[in-house]
Amino acid sequence: MANPLQPKCNSILETEFNAYIINVTGASKSGHMDTIACINGLFYGFEYKWKTDQPSELQKDKINKCIKAGGKAYFVRSVEQLKYILRNKIEPTEYPLKKTFNL
């Protein structure tokens, strides 16, 4: 089932925050964020998580890379959370990754 949060959040981004958005489709590479947006000249990435969905390690890594590159990226669980982040200019935080090793 498609995530019902994405169209609601994208509508808010466009109408309330005058964002230019690009929806990332299922044909994209694994781990890419659901929506990327330009808001007031800044790069944003949003990964929408519905109900009890948990971010994968790959998604955490992509968000961390976006933040390290100077963008803003977030996991979002509700329209209210999205509005709060943008209205209050909440800075993104990097996510700890599980340590892995290759043999």
Residue 82 structure tokens? 């999205």
Distance, in Å, from the CA atom of 60 to the CA atom of 97, rounded to the nearest integer, reads 7
Closest CA to 21 of 68, 77, 86: 86
Question: Given a cut of 60, is residue 73 above it in pLDDT?
Answer: yes
Give exposure, 87-97, as e/b (b: 16+ Cβ within 10 Å).
Answer: eeeeebeeeee
Question: Given a cut of 70, is residue 5 above it in pLDDT?
Answer: yes
pLDDT tens, position by position, 33-64: 899 999 999 999 999 998 778 888 899 999 99
